[in-house]
Copies of this chain bind each other. A is one copy, B any other.
Amino acid sequence: MFRTHTCGELRIDNNNQTVTLSGWVAKRRDFGALTFIDLRDRYGITQLSFNEEYNQQLLAESRKLGREFVIQVNGMVTERSSKNAKIPTGDIEIVVESLTILNSSLTPPFTIEEETDGGDELRMQYRYLDLRRDNVRANLMLRHAVAKHVRGYLDQKEFIEVETPVLIKSTPEGARDFVVPSRMNQGEFYALPQSPQTFKQLLMISGFDRYYQIVKCFRDEDLRADRQPEFTQIDCEMSFVEQEDILNLFEGMVQYLFKQVKGIDIGTLPRITYEEAMHNYGNDKPDIRFDMQFNYLTELVKGKGFPILDTAECVLAITANGCANYTRKQLDELTEWVKRPQIGAKGMVYVLCNADGTFKSSVDKFYSQEDLKQWAEKCHAQAGDLILLLSGTTKDAQKQMSELRLEMGSRMGLRKKDEFKALWVVDFPLLEFDDENNRWHAMHHPFTSPKPADIPLLDTNPGAIKANAYDMVINGVEVGGGSIRIFNKELQAKMFKTLGFTDEEARYQFGFLMNAFEYGAPPHGGIAFGFDRLCSLFGGADSIRDFIAFPKNNQGRDVMIDAPSVIDAKQLKELGINSQI
């Protein structure tokens, strides 16, 4: 037997017991006649003590142990003279009676500690050592806990987990598919699923009623900072439901997760429409940990001779409470910030609401104190506050002001990692127009149901149609989204037509789904959550990468195993393909 206990479980109650432990040498501290070793495993750290008086030879052996050696020790649990209140085993140490080196270790290329000296590239190359760090392992244990409680909740709600296939059919719509050449059907390819969307709809047609799956999905996209070619979804679908049923059930799930995993009561989720979200926050995934909603000053600022505001389609303002003490330097820097190409504003107007009730603005030349007082009233600004204005087309001004609002929220410390505010955004537009290709795109996907009252608009004004679609947003991050689906074959056909599919294209890509709709499809709808993102949010981190055991880098490479890689000519030949390289 390699151990009687783990390195995390011995307490003062175990005093005088003889125990066997195994683990890694995390630290060694030598003092004259004494050596202490911190022995580490997944469960914790236990101090080992080697004493010259007790056993000289063992002391000498202990001093040959390097960092990350794997050892097994036998010894007596003994109360420490100087206790360590920081760790649960801190009251005791093991006076070692025998020592076995199970494996040696080279010196790791970076320190195995929360704050490591290893850079990203090095850590990824030695991911198996990086995963030894307490915080990285804690992230993956958090992930396990979230998955477990998701399953617990959905099981209790009578959902059935069904595995859908990974080797499926390529569909040109949407993002690029990863494909898999078929050896047995040469010249043909499988595709890896971007989501199990059609399969979960088929399961509803099959009468499964409530389906879920925590499932890998794949997208061959050029990777931005925080995207992975393979990612995990919590994928759900329900039959005989309306939007309200789905919102209630999954609001319950998120409340349950926060309670179970974080011990937090996040309360009832506000519901706002897409229009409200865009109007008040310029963003369909608003961060509502802080207020700072948009104020529309377009009319109020007109006619005072300042051409930029006079001619703007839209003038927006936000109020930064307590920021009237911003210096000229800070305000100039903020102006530069909004003018960066990533934001793209032409300039920024500010109004400082002084403590004495006067105002100081960057447009004092055009606007009187009385004008500015009206602005302040419209913006609910008090003495001590700062008002920031941006102008332009409505679309641009909303987008830029959304960025500025988030930036101010961050600067003012209003976006705390340990505070969580969730909401639903509902009533999304069904379609968005793609100027480049001069065609309509489904905002969610082509199976999303329009609101029944809006169906006639498909012929007259597609852009005005609202969908039975919803997103769950937490702390400004879209963690989940879904919709009520079209379950009527004629409506689905009309939808494909509006999206510019020919009958043939629709039949080729979705023929099996269209066929299935002929045989009694129930009303149904669903939702999918980005599981990696949800976990990183629970963990208070910005990046999903440290919540994935073996992530890929921005070039889609796993630098540890060195994949992708070349394969031999024989393998290619069997598959019936040539590499053009």
Contact = CB atoms under 8 A, between A and B. Distances in A.
A335 B125 CA distance: 62
B519 A108 contact: yes
B519 A42 contact: no
A564 B179 CA distance: 10
B205 A128 contact: yes
Contact of A230 (B69, B162, B165): B165
A105 B177 CA distance: 33
Contacts of A132: 206-207
A567 B220 CA distance: 15
Contacts of A561: 168-169, 198, 512
Given A188-B564, A550-B164, A180 B180 contact: yes
Q: How many copies does the complex hold?
A: 2
A489 to B, nearest CB: 9
Given A69-B520, A185-B557, A561-B169, A207 B576 contact: no
A205 to B, nearest CB: 5
Interface string A21-35: 010100000000000
Given A144-B162, A163-B232, A519-B105, A192 B205 contact: no
B575 A2 contact: no
A338 to B, nearest CB: 33
A396 to B, nearest CB: 32
Interface in A563-580: 563-568, 571, 573-580
Interface stretch (A147-155, A286-294, A421-429, A453-461): A147-155
Interface string A198-210: 1100110111111
Interface string A120-134: 000000111101100
A577 B183 CA distance: 15
A334 interface: no
Contacts of A339: none
Contacts of A223: 184
B128 A516 contact: yes
A169 B564 contact: yes
Contacts of A520: 24, 68-70, 103-105
A280 B229 CA distance: 51
A160 interface: yes
Nearest to A581: B187
Contact of A207 (B131, B160, B565): B131
Given A24-B520, A557-B185, A167 B563 contact: yes
A200 B128 CA distance: 10
A144 to B, nearest CB: 5
Contacts of A166: 166, 192, 216, 218, 230
B103 A488 contact: yes
A163 B216 contact: yes
A240 interface: yes
Given A132-B206, A206-B137, A209-B41, A186 B519 contact: no
A151 B3 CA distance: 25
B103 A522 contact: yes
B206 A170 contact: no
B580 A186 contact: yes
A141 interface: yes
Contacts of A129: 206, 519
B229 A167 contact: yes
A355 interface: no
Contacts of A202: 127-128, 550
Contacts of A313: none
A263 to B, nearest CB: 19
A118 interface: no
Contact of A137 (B176, B189, B207): B207
A528 to B, nearest CB: 16
Interface in A210-259: 210, 216, 218, 220, 222-223, 229-230, 232, 240-242, 245
Nearest to A67: B520
B178 A179 contact: no
Given A128-B202, A579-B576, A172 B518 contact: no
B3 A240 contact: yes
A562 B141 contact: no
A555 interface: yes
Contacts of A69: 520
A347 interface: no
A560 interface: yes
Interface string A1-42: 111001000000000000000101000000000000000111
Nearest to A168: B563
A161 interface: yes
Given A22-B240, A165-B230, A179-B181, A103 B487 contact: yes
9 contacts: A1-B245, A22-B240, A132-B207, A141-B160, A165-B550, A180-B180, A185-B555, A191-B563, A578-B579
Given A2-B241, A41-B209, A128-B205, 16 more contacts: A2-B242, A103-B487, A128-B206, A129-B519, A132-B206, A137-B208, A143-B162, A165-B230, A166-B192, A166-B218, A169-B563, A181-B579, A186-B581, A189-B566, A191-B567, A576-B580
